[in-house]
């Protein structure tokens, strides 16, 4: 059986712990590989490799670091088909989604290629008598990223792209459910360095593990910053544990994104947007849109009818089926969890309009498939509304007014993303201003910001003060040093004992 190793110090490194996780092919339900799970000793080996490599990497001027990022981008693009197929074979998302996963990560790499500009500090000439003040951004040292299964390419690149460009070394712990693509990214980064005549062993390390590895990362004294994406409970744990150790921590959690549909919305386009956002990638996205809120009875009736008809046209298939809209979910356990939520919705009294349970694909009967599911008359008091299902389940929560619709995402425990569908500019502007959510789409169902802005939710969707990528990422992975300089002229005086003032 294929065994997936760590990538430490530029070398493929088998785990010596004797503990392994199984990596499935979600299309067939069969185990295709096993991955070694690190302990604290192996985490320390990765950190020591990073510590050894970081000073020389930080000493490389920003323009040359940018050239490495350019070379890395070219290498990933050249292997897009290979990487997408590998990603789909372990995650289950269709090839087109896997290429999107890679492309959205590469957009952050493109942003990081501008690091010479991003690291420019501030300068004040003549802040005092003969005194100039300037600031510079310097790397923290060693940073770490803990990433989820649903975007095994994009989210690692969101993290290490910026962290490496500004001069840090990085330790990446991807999900043990689909670990192969992150390892390939580590290898390609090494190759990018070689293309530029640099030996980058230890600059980017990838190790696999479960809670033991996560805790070792959070406790390691040499790791200065930790970035995390996953469920809210674990995000909260990572934030509390990491900050208690004096680390910078950004921890992104779960979501329950809403799509508000006003009576004047273009329903045909809105339905296509909702179906794509709710069921794409089998709903396994923190920016999926699993709740839609039609305003007014007439809107609700029409929306439900059109949604049910559109869902009937969806094709669920294996990852390699180019005509499939989405594929299987990641594991049998996750399939069981989703189907449990569907039954809970029925038990809570919601109306099950389309039931995706029991979906079977001929020739792939053991695959982890869940059909598209639609609920109507869901109430805010229901557990299925309050919690993240993370599967191909769309819930209709009816509202009588604009204010009632606005209140639903604003009051929810999660505040990652929200969308409003309308032709009314004033209503859209008011909604965007008032809604208590971190990312807003106006006729955009999945409002993930472009790479030169930043990604981050509110409430239990994010812990910490910094968002992902963009200038927020640059600030997170650097520290500011401010220098006050004076060049003496003439005789030495006693003024050296006095704090300079701005007289």
Active site residues: 286
Give every CB contact of residue 190 below 8 A, 6+ residues apart in sequence.
10, 200, 201, 204
Query: E strands, 113-199, where?
Result: 123-128, 131-139, 142-146, 169-173
CB atoms within 10 A of CB 374: 24
In degrees, to the nearest 5, what angle opens at C-alpha 498 toward C-alphas 495 and 503?
A: 85
How far apart, in whole angstroms, are the C-alpha atoms of residue 175 and residue 171? 13
What φ, ψ does residue 188 adopt, rounded to 5°?
-70, -30
User: Alpha carbon of 122 to those of 137, 247, 379, 408, 479: distances in Å?
Assistant: 10, 26, 52, 43, 14
How far apart, in whole angstroms, are the C-alpha atoms of residue 410 and residue 418? 9
How far apart, in whole angstroms, are the C-alpha atoms of residue 367 and residue 324? 15
Instruction: Report whether 89 contacts 321 (CB < 8 A).
Output: no
Of 141, 137, 132, which is closest to residue 120 (Cα–Cα)? 137
What φ, ψ does residue 438 adopt, rounded to 5°?
-80, -30
Task: Find the Cα–Cα–Cα–Cα dihedral 279, 280, 284, 286, rounded to 10°.
Answer: -100
Give 63: exposed, middle or buried? Use CB within 10 Å, 0-12, 13-18, 19+.
Answer: exposed
């Amino acid at each position: 059986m294929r065994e997936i190793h760590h990538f430490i110090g530029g070398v493929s490194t088998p785990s010596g712990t004797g503990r392994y996780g199984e990596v499935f092919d979600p299309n067939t339900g069969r185990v295709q590989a096993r991955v070694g799970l690190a302990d604290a000793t192996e985490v320390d080996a990765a950190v020591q490799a990073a510590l050894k490599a970081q000073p020389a990497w930080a000493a490389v001027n920003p323009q040359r670091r940018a050239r490495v990022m350019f070379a890395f981008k070219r290498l990933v693009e050249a292997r897009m088909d290979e990487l997408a197929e590998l990603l789909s074979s372990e995650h289950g998302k269709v090839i087109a989604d896997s290429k999107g996963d890679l492309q959205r990560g590469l957009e952050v790499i493109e942003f990081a290629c501008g690091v010479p500009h991003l690291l420019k500090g501030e300068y004040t000439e003549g802040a005092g008598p003969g005194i100039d003040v300037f600031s510079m951004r310097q790397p923290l040292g060693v940073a770490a990223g803990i990433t989820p299964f649903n975007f095994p390419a994009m989210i690692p690149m969101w993290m290490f792209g910026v962290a490496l460009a500004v001069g840090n070394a990085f330790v990446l712990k991807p999900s043990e459910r689909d670990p192969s693509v992150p390892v390939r990214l580590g290898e390609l980064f090494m190759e990018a360095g070689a293309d530029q005549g640099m030996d980058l062993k230890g600059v980017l390390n990838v190790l696999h593990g479960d809670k033991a590895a996560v805790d070792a990362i959070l406790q390691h004294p040499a790791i200065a910053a930790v970035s995390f994406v996953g469920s809210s409970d674990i995000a909260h744990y990572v934030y509390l544990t990491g900050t208690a150790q004096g680390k910078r921590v950004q921890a992104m959690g779960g979501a329950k994104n809403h799509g508000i549909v006003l009576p004047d919305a273009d329903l045909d386009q809105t339905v296509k947007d909702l179906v794509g956002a709710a069921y794409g990638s089998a709903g396994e996205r923190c920016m999926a849109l699993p709740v839609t809120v039609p305003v007014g009875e007439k809107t609700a009736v029409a929306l439900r009818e059109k949604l049910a008809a559109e869902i009937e046209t969806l094709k669920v298939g294996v990852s390699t089926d180019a005509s499939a809209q989405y594929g299987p979910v990641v594991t049998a356990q996750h399939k069981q969890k989703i189907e449990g939520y569907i039954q809970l919705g029925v038990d809570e009294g919601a109306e099950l309009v389309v039931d995706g349970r029991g979906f079977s694909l001929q020739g792939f009967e053991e695959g982890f498939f869940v059909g598209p599911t639609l609920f109507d008359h869901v109430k805010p008091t229901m557990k299925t509304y309050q919690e993240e299902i993370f599967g191909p389940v769309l819930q209709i929560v009816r509202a009588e007014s604009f204010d009632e619709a606005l209140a639903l995402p604003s009051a929810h425990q999660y505040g990652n993303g929200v969308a409003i569908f309308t032709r009314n500019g004033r209503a859209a502007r008011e909604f965007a201003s008032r809604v208590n959510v971190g990312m807003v789409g106006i006729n955009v169902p999945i409002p993930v910001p472009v790479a030169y802005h930043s990604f981050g939710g509110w409430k239990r969707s994010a812990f910490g003060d910094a968002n992902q990528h963009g200038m927020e990422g640059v600030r997170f992975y650097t520290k500011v040093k401010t220098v006050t300089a004076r060049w003496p002229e003439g005789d030495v005086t006693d003024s050296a004992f006095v704090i300079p003032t701005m007289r």
